[in-house]
Structure 1
């Protein structure tokens, strides 16, 4: 592993590598991952005039080894915008190198540029490495359960 690890905004040429990292991330979390055309939808989400998804990639000598993606959202109770970190993942050899801190710095900088007052994210409770890292960075956990249900796509009439 070289010492030339950089964290930069994701570029269109890195979307296939992002797909591979997402596969690894799902395995790490013990989650299912289904490929269904993400790369093309990411292209419009990341690079549209009004992006709906923002991301950074860690590269080692130009080879992607980790990523973070975020969106912005709006909180009803406070009537304020906030940043939601959807994913943060580093391949195993790149953990404990300070890259997580670099990603969280990017998260804070992004929140400031978007005029968001805070950032939120979630991690599986058994991700002890992640939970410990987030707590060391000063993050506080909130006791909530995450729910989900599938909504079938409606075909146009």
Structure 2
């Protein structure tokens, strides 16, 4: 969904007309219609004002639904991160990035191994099989 779709949905939930929203924001009705149709994007102050008017968050206006659904455990991690001293945050970001990169690489290798192990073996008949020659370990007999 686009920002315009989100604005329209929230406006309709609040049971407000485009004209009412325009008047409340000090904008023109055509401007609000343009936002809803995706012809333009509202400036930040108008987004904040719409969120107050619609009694919703700015995220509900600006973000896709999938981008704003954050699990409670992740919200708790974000809160903990935000409580860190500013000089520690870059180090925490680097540690988190490194750990995620490591997990992603591990996951990638697991997928490769899974694919390689599941590849069907080429079947050959007993008559087609040729045993490899014996290994010569350099010993004389």
TM-score by length of 2: 0.24
Determine which structure has greater relative contact order: mean sequence separation of CA pairs < 8 Å that are 6+ residues apart, divided by chain length: 2
TM-score by length of 1: 0.22
Q: Which has the higher strand share?
A: 1
Q: Which has the higher helix share?
A: 2
